[in-house]
Structure 1
Amino acid sequence: MHEYSIAYDIFATAKKTALDNSATMVRKVHMSVGEMTMINPEQVVFLFNTMKDEDPLFKDCILEYTDTPVKSVCKCGYEGSEKYVCPDCGGMPEIVDGREVRVTNIEIEVDEE
């Protein structure tokens, strides 16, 4: 179950960012989930929520996600969303996006002093 390690990494990234920026609260964390990651994003959200309940910095934090479709390129010049066989030449395209889980945005609150 690698969803747990992904949820933990997202939590740790958000916490480090919050502490580095003297945040008083983390409001929202946004992640993008590639189509080819083979993870269940709802499970990541559930596990993240379990972790954040222990930390007052994350009291009302929401983890949101968007799906990232596959983008691929081929040596023949094809660019598109084919995962396995280039529709132009029959070769194997290189997947350039859609295999990652990324934290794309962290919304925090800081004291204005």
Structure 2
Amino acid sequence: MHELGVTFHIMDHLEKVAAENKVTHVRKVTLELGEVSTVIESYLQSCWTWAAKKRPLFDKSELVVETLPAITYCENCEKTYPTVANGKICPYCGSEHTYLLQGNEFNIKEIEVE
């Protein structure tokens, strides 16, 4: 489960930012999570809840996850389509000359502090 490592990475980063800004408590963290990022939201939420209890800065903090849909671009017909439903093959022209435009992201979008 790499979600625990991801959680620690986020918290470590936010602890540095909080120290630089003299923040004593984080109320809420909003993440953008790509649909095909390989991070499982339910596991991430469980890891966050567990880890937040162990770090005073995050005690009782909320983790909000916004899912970004995976979108693929076809170089042949220049159209975009939903990646999860169609995979690498373009549903419009059948081409395999495609690439992921979005959906693999993992971004800290917003932090609410006291």
Establish whether TM, by shorter chain, passes 0.5: yes
Question: TM-score with structure 1 length normalisation?
Answer: 0.85
Partners of 2:108 and 2:61 in 1: how far apart?
14
**What is the number of residues matched between the two proteins?**
109
Query: Residues 81 and 90 of structure 2 are in contact (CA less than 8 Å); yes or no, is this contact kept in structure 1?
Result: no
4+ runs deviating over 4 angstroms: none
Q: 1:28 corresponds to which residue? A: 28
Q: 1:56 corresponds to which residue? A: 56
Please give the per-residue CA displacement for 1:53-104, whole angstroms capped at 9, x wherever unaligned: 1222222211110211111212121122233211233223210111122211
Please give the per-residue CA displacement for 1:5-39, whole angstroms capped at 9, x wherever unaligned: 11111211222221121112111011122111233
Letter in 2 for 1:36: V
What RMSD, in angstroms, separates the aligned Cα atoms of the two structures? 1.5
Q: Do structure 1's residue 107 and structure 2's residue 112 form an aligned pair?
A: yes
Q: Do structure 1's residue 5 and structure 2's residue 5 form an aligned pair?
A: yes
Structure 2, unaligned runs of 5 or more: none
Query: Residues 73 and 96 of structure 1 are in contact (CA less than 8 Å); yes or no, is this contact kept in structure 2?
Result: yes
Percent identity for Structure 1 against Structure 2: 27
Question: TM-score with structure 2 length normalisation?
Answer: 0.84
Partners of 2:49 and 2:16 in 1: how far apart?
17
